[in-house]
Structures are given as structure tokens and as C-alpha cells.
């Protein structure tokens, strides 16, 4: 693959993430002109209206109803999966078996059994495969990783993470695929907790065992235009304690029932030499404390990201100009397209997606059994 060749992408699903991914493809050349161009060839959705509107709004050459045909097309190199979770496996496996590169939204699958099969299929395929854990591509989080790898925190003792939202509190919030185990696999845990688990694995390391607690606060949701509410069979919140393979201990909370918290994804990591803290709602700041500072000047400092932090030179020329949701997606697309052009895997490949799924499965099963459970190891990848 030469950098001036073009990669044709087929986007499946024109909702919230379909828009973000398309925007990232469209601006990629202005940040990374050296990368192969991604041609927005075709978008598919459930209906002609949705697909046509998606093609028009997101700048695709063509539209299609249904995904089976477009996934097999010769002129498609990348299949981008931005659909509800129950469609991730069938679309990804068909695409991988047709030699396509696959970007799949998180969580990878409905459950660990599915994720293992998808990871095996990916391992046997020629394509580059990636699960979209975009929040780890936030420059402040990339900087946190750099400081941890440089040893500035020393030996890690604690990892604490929260991912809190409040959109599900009103009981009249309509039923959607996010409330159905058949379409989403789990609730708050898979939908937002998966991002916090990705942070745990990325910043601290493997998780050996967990104990979980889940709760559904509102048991049914109205369906617009229907007199009968629909059952909710997923968690509205999931809380867990984590044992890391390196001896660190962790706590993790994900909830859609936390008034005032809109997209409150945070972590705090404490080590033998210092600590770090991050809050997505202040995504351009990283809090750092060094226990090695002189007593009289010890304090938590706020690092404002920009140059010289990761991607600082590429994004905006001065610190504090800020990066947000779109920039994390652009940085994620950079790592995906660059891996394709260099013919190598990415960090958040399907095996990694499967590791996150194994942790979620252990938390859900542990909550059901009310006991600590080991996390199943993932081989390969």
C-alpha cells in the first residue's frame, strides 16, 4: 500500500458515531497529509431515508439499504461498524472473511463468547482490526501513559475510575437498544464502563479478578406510540472492585443515574512516587502530584495539554486551545490508517476488545453470583 493510494470505506450506521467517524475521515488529511486518503464510498443503514440522508450529510459517494452487499464490495478496503452492538459480530466477521480492515465501535460484542469468536476470526484474517476506545487517544491520557511508563508514579497502588451520566434518570426516557440485552449485551457497564475498563488495562495492566454489583433502577421504559412499556433487562449501574495482575487494587463505577454528571469519565492513579488524575469533562487538563517535590512546594499541579504533549505539534499550535471529542477520533483514525499503511496491528485490536469483554463478563457474572471471580485470560493478539 503506497501513501498516495486511496482506501475506500463503507460505513454501516449513520447515527451518533457514524457522524463522528465520517467527520474524522474528512479532516484526517489536514492533520496527517502523509497518510493514504480515505474515500467515503458508501454508507448503509436500515432505510432509504436514513442511508440517503447519511450519504448527503457525511459526504459519501453512495448509499445502500442493508450491509451484506457493501461489506463484500471489491472497492471497499475498510468496513466501519457504527451500529447497535448486536450487529458488530455478523458485520465484522463477514468483512474480515472478505479481507477487509475493520473499525468496530465498543463494546466489541454482546458477551465474551461472541468476543472470543470475533477475536479468533480477526486473528485468522489479513485485515487490521480495531475496537474504538477513543477516549484513550485524548492527549492528556496519552501523556498520563507516558508519565506512568517513564516511572514518575513508581509502583502503582490504586486505580479508581468513574464513568457517570444522568440521561436515563427520567422514567419517561424512551426505550432504545441501549436498554435491551438482546441488542446491547449489557447496560451502563458495556456502554460506558467499557471505556473505564480500557483505561484500567491501558494505564495499569491486566486484571486478574473482580467482584461486581449491578442494579436496574427503572424496570421498564415507554415506547413512543405504544401503550405497553418495554422491559429493561440490563444494568443501569455497575460497580466493581478489581485485582490487578501487578498487585494494584482498583475500583470502577459506571452509572446512567448520576444527576449533574454528563460525560463524567474520570480516573485517579496513585503510586509509590506520585499520582495522576483526569476528568474527561476537563479533557485538556491532567492533574499530577509528585511525592519527590520538596515538602514546601508539594501540591497537585494542573498540566494544560498541547505542545509538547502527544500530538501537540500536529493538532493546535499552543497549549490550552483545547482538544475534545472530534480530535480524539481523528487521533484514533490516524493510528488505524497508519497501521493499515504500515501493515501492522493496532493496540486496541479485537484481542484487546475481547480482554475488555472478559472483564465485563466477570463483573456481570460475579454480581449475579455475589462472589469474587477470576477474569478469563485472552490468548494471542
Binding region for ligand NAI (CB under 6 A) out of 21-29, 83-91, 115-123, 227-235: 83-91
Q: Is 198 in the site for ligand SOE (CB under 6 A)?
A: no
Site for ligand NAI in 177-216 (CB under 6 A): 191
Q: Roughly how many angstroms between the first and final C-alpha of the chain, as a whole number?
A: 23
Contact 49, 65 (CB under 8 A): no
Q: Is 152 in the site for ligand SOE (CB under 6 A)?
A: no
Q: How far is the CB of 157 from ligand NAI (least distance, A)?
A: 29
Which residues, 6 or more positions from 2, have their beta carbon under 8 angstroms from its beta carbon? 36
Q: How far is the CB of 289 from ligand SOE (least distance, A)?
A: 28
Q: Is 16 in the site for ligand NAI (CB under 6 A)?
A: yes
Of 13, 8, 197, nearest to 104 by C-alpha is 13
Binding partner of 328, given ligand NAI, ligand SOE, none, CB within 5-8 angstroms per partner class: none
Burial class (CB in 10 A: 0-12, 13-18, 19+), 209: middle
Task: Report CA-CA distances (Å) from 225 to 174, 175, 222, 228.
Answer: 10, 11, 9, 9
Give the strand pairing for 285-290 and 274-279: antiparallel
Q: Which residue in the block uniquely carries the three cell numbers 487521533?
A: 331
Q: Is 349 in the site for ligand NAI (CB under 6 A)?
A: no
- Indicate the length of the chain as a whole number: 381
Give the one residue of 80, 191, 358, 361 binding ligand SOE; rule: CB under 6 A.
Answer: 191
Q: How far is the CB of 380 from ligand SOE (least distance, A)?
A: 26
Give the one residue of 192, 232, 367, 373 binding ligand SOE; rule: CB under 6 A.
Answer: 192
Binding partner of 192, given ligand SOE, ligand NAI, none, CB within 5-8 angstroms per partner class: ligand SOE
Strand partners, 42: 10, 62
The HSE-up count of residue 298 (CA atoms within 13 Å, CB side) is: 10
Q: Which helix (H) or strand (E) element contains residue 240?
A: strand 237-244
Q: Compute the distance between CA of residue 278 and CA of residue 196 in angstroms, rounded to an integer.
A: 12
Binding region for ligand NAI (CB under 6 A) out of 69-77, 80-88, 116-124, 307-315: 80-88
Strands (E), 46-99: 62-65, 78-81
Give the one residue of 22, 83, 254, 305 binding ligand NAI; rule: CB under 6 A.
Answer: 83
Q: Which is nearer to ligand NAI, 16 or 167 (CB)?
A: 16
Q: Which is nearer to ligand SOE, 111 or 186 (CB)?
A: 186
**Dihedral angle computed from the Cα positions of residues 254, 256, 258 and 263, in that order, rounded to the nearest 10 degrees:** 80
Q: Is 237 in the site for ligand SOE (CB under 6 A)?
A: no
Site for ligand SOE in 249-278 (CB under 6 A): 263
Site for ligand NAI in 132-171 (CB under 6 A): 132, 134
Q: Which is nearer to ligand NAI, 43 or 203 (CB)?
A: 43
Size, binding site for ligand NAI by CB under 6 A? 21
- Other residues' Cβ atoms within 10 Å of the Cβ of residue 201: 18
Which residues, 6 or more positions from 221, have their beta carbon under 8 angstroms from its beta carbon? 171, 173, 174, 175, 176, 179, 229, 230, 232
Site for ligand NAI in 19-58 (CB under 6 A): 44-46, 50
Q: Which is nearer to ligand SOE, 111 or 329 (CB)?
A: 329
Contact 78, 9 (CB under 8 A): yes
Q: Which residues bind ligand NAI (CB under 6 A)?
A: 12-17, 44-46, 50, 67, 82-85, 87, 105-106, 132, 134, 191
Q: Which residues bind ligand SOE (CB under 6 A)?
A: 165, 191-192, 263
Amino acid at each position: 500500500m503506497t501513501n498516495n493510494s486511496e482506501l475506500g470505506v463503507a460505513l454501516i450506521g449513520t447515527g451518533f458515531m457514524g457522524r463522528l467517524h465520517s467527520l474524522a475521515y474528512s479532516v484526517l488529511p489536514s492533520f496527517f497529509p502523509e497518510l493514504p486518503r480515505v474515500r467515503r464510498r458508501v454508507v448503509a443503514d436500515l432505510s432509504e431515508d436514513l442511508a440517503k440522508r447519511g450519504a448527503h450529510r457525511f459526504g459519501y459517494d453512495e448509499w445502500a439499504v442493508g450491509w451484506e452487499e457493501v461489506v463484500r464490495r471489491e472497492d471497499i478496503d475498510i468496513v466501519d461498524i457504527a451500529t447497535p452492538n448486536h450487529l458488530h459480530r455478523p458485520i465484522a466477521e463477514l468483512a474480515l472473511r472478505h479481507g477487509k480492515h475493520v473499525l468496530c465501535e465498543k463494546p466489541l460484542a454482546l458477551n465474551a463468547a461472541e468476543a472470543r469468536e470475533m477475536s479468533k476470526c480477526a486473528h485468522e484474517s489479513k485485515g487490521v482490526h480495531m475496537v474504538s476506545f477513543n477516549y484513550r487517544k485524548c492527549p492528556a491520557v496519552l501523556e498520563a501513559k507516558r508519565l506512568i511508563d517513564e516511572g514518575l508514579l513508581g509502583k502503582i497502588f490504586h486505580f479508581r475510575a468513574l464513568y457517570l451520566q444522568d440521561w436515563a434518570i427520567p422514567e419517561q426516557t424512551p426505550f432504545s437498544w441501549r436498554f435491551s440485552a438482546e441488542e446491547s449485551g449489557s447496560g451502563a457497564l458495556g456502554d460506558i464502563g467499557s471505556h473505564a475498563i480500557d483505561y484500567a488495562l491501558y494505564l495499569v495492566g491486566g486484571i486478574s479478578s473482580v467482584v461486581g454489583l449491578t442494579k436496574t433502577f427503572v424496570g421498564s421504559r415507554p415506547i413512543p406510540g405504544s401503550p405497553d412499556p418495554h422491559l429493561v433487562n440490563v444494568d443501569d449501574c455497575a460497580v466493581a472492585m478489581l485485582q490487578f495482575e501487578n498487585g494494584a487494587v482498583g475500583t470502577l463505577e459506571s452509572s446512567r443515574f448520576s444527576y449533574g454528571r454528563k460525560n463524567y469519565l474520570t480516573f485517579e492513579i496513585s503510586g509509590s512516587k506520585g499520582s495522576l488524575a483526569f476528568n474527561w469533562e476537563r479533557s485538556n487538563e491532567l492533574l499530577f502530584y509528585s511525592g519527590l517535590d520538596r515538602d514546601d512546594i508539594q501540591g497537585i499541579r494542573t498540566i494544560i495539554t498541547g505542545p509538547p504533549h502527544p500530538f501537540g505539534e500536529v493538532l493546535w499550535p499552543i497549549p490550552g486551545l483545547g482538544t475534545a471529542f472530534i480530535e480524539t477520533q481523528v487521533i484514533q483514525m490516524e493510528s488505524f490508517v497508519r497501521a493499515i499503511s504500515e501493515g501492522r496491528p493496532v493496540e486496541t485490536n479485537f484481542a484487546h476488545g475481547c480482554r475488555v469483554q472478559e472483564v465485563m463478563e466477570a463483573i456481570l457474572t460475579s454480581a449475579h453470583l455475589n462472589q469474587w471471580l477470576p477474569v478469563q485470560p485472552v490468548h494471542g493478539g
